[in-house]
Structure 1
């Protein structure tokens, strides 16, 4: 880890400068040598970095959704050009270019903040080794080494020896308890972030291998963070826990305000939107109007959730407009009432006694019908079926059947001498 961190040593100076500026602010409030001053400085560094990465986060969301939509087409290309890998790659790149999708966009936020993460790790390692780094001089170095978060020094690790921890003015038990709790919280926040993405913000109508991969990552990522966390200093754990909580809150906001079409989150969002329109009689808010505008522009390509929303508006006598508003429409009311009338109505559940009574009535009616039809049947049997004479050499099929069954007995024509 130290070797990797040294590769990003070029960014340690700006990272250390930002931490020192925040430390001056919080040091004036909590005291310069306290864990609150240094801990909140790291938290503020995370917030500043994540605010700068918001545009990349938006690109990540769009890329993830586009990849979900393109999964069926990508699978079809793979099946079609199964034996030609070069043609398969060309068709994939062509599909990405036509749809404006970049597969690497989903990794941009993590890649962009990686240099800051390793630079912070490099700074904290230097503090643990009592070395000056960046803009942190000896006085700031002594202050940072005295800072403790719940009894654990900023530069201490879970795997540190007792002698090294005592040199930082703390006990090994306190360090391991604090780091273990932070590692568990870090892994749990990562798991919850991935879980809410899979359970709420995924199009349930599209079943692709991409969803299975995301489910695997939901369990693999927390394990990776748990294993790596035992080698992170307390200050780095503060950084990573803060960025996980930020990601979780940011994703929760996006899911509630701009959910993926066809997902459970979209069903909940449009349900809230319909309730708001029912209360106020109009679409309030720019984001909500843009949502209605997108649904109108889709036309017949709407999914089941969006059609359910339009039907709900029709029941209120409202119709969505192209500008994102809603207007009263008599046609919408008629369509809603007609659709409700055409629905299949389930019969009411009858008691056991009523079911037996109705079954007996049906049986009696069948017996009456069969008794009334019997005379007609007997008359039909007695009526001659055909008055035409049969050929001499071919006896009638009916007479032969009757002779075999024993219903009609009599002399039979002798066989021709040649047929004996």
Structure 2
């Protein structure tokens, strides 16, 4: 009976999990805010229309970038290794875009005579209109220059490295005037609130998070929806950290030099364009002197190792929620197996085997308890016939029988309860890990991150659950209506699994099949031991 109730608990847990995951994406406007006056600023970085004649194209092995000469902003980012849709090599995933939407990475220097201190912003000069990382070349440098009338030369340099989604951005100020100058560096991400166009089809009403993220000093990571940001703007000061926009599988983030004390603020404009920015302390450049200001722009997939290397806390944007302590080892274990088998589906199966092996001592106790309960079934039936009308007396006699026989009716619950966080953690891994996006298994399953298109895995999973249910000892004390409800659980779970990622259903199917094999092995072992004692 307790084992059957365990299945009911599992159903309740999954339903609660689905409700918990139903993120909402409503929006709300708020008036634009100015950059904090204490940093010497009087205006934000302008959001001017992009003219295609002013664009510089940069092509590396990992992306195609377009930089606007006006202000030197990154206004377009296309990822070479990620298709927008499965099996569509012609159309790549695009993050920053200026064409029919607003999503850009802006940076500016503000101060007397600075390139961004007034409108229109300065138009930088470059030697070329396009740059390309050549074979055998590990680094590509794209310098933009502008000089004011006072003899101050500003060089804004973008440095791209092979197989790297980090873009190094440096302002070098060469002050050949006779006066000391002070400047503030501002980095901001501006984005509309439109869907990215890269979301996979929603599964059972579940949506990936789309919004702002940054690193409060005490927590290193916090994500905020557009709606919440409109109601409560960010206004914090911290050392180092980062700011960014999150979407399914991808992130854009500005990262200051970590020793710098920065001010992080946000704005939701009346048209719902959303800005998150940081501003660094004033930098003094003496007359006839030179200073450099550096920052890093990350634009690309949420790959754990790359995020860990880019900035402290940025790896938390691979959001594994409260089960990160389980999800992270599972994720790394899958990566380890994939490095050998080169198939994420096989890696999931191998992870399932490891999990089941680690839980085997508990599972063995569960199956021994089930076997003992099965042996007691005739006696329980007798108790039901004798005390069927007196439920209190029957419960007392059952507890007495359990004690005499050394049986534990609750022995099967713990391993099942331990499966819940593992199940949820693996869901997060499959939902968040970009490596699983468009990752094939075999045959008809060409994308483990979305539902099985022909529902084969969910049906097999339902069949395996039905088989497990048949192997459970039936309690004679269970109400006939309860028994009937329990008998429908495999059907209910099959319907649930129709909408879950194929990779998650594959895990649950393998988990069930291994459980059946373990249960059969232990049950037969106990039966052999019982027969040997009888002789």
Flag whether TM exceeds 0.5 (same fold).
no
The structure with the greater share of residues assigned to strand is 2
TM-score by length of 2: 0.35
